Amino acid sequence: MPQRKTALKRLRVDRKKHLHNLKIKTSLKKILKKFLSLVSEKKLDEAKENFKQVVVSLDKAVSQGIIHKNTAARKKSRFSKKLVHKA
């Protein structure tokens, strides 16, 4: 356990940030999973609508510094390929 006031505050801040980042990451994973299930079930109209939400949520995660921009770009590219190849 930290001894100094600043270390205690840093511990509190880090815990709060961790929970915030975790919340965003789990919601992002749910959105990505939903998209993949729609593509595998061949519900392409719904998947196209959901793809917009995927792109927006990935971009938000990048802007908040939760995931790296290249990771988001790679995921967007792979998901768009899946969408095109299934159509």
pLDDT in tens, 10-19: 999 999 999 9
Q: Give residue 87's pLDDT.
A: 64
User: In the chain, where are the structural domains located?
Assistant: 5-86
Report the percentage of the chain scoring pLDDT > 70. 99
Task: For 35-60, write each residue's pLDDT tens digit.
Answer: 999 999 999 999 999 999 999 999 99
Identify the pLDDT of residue 85.
Answer: 84
CA pair distance 56, 22, nearest whole angstrom? 18
CATH of domain 5-86: 1.20.58.110
What's the pLDDT at 2?
84
Q: How many CB atoms lie within 10 A of CB 1?
A: 5
Query: From the CB of residue 53, how many other CB atoms can be counted at a distance below 10 Å?
Result: 13
> Mean pLDDT across the chain, nearest whole number?
95
Q: For residue 42, is it left (φ>0), alpha (ψ between -120 and 50) or beta?
A: left
Output the pTM of the full model: 0.86
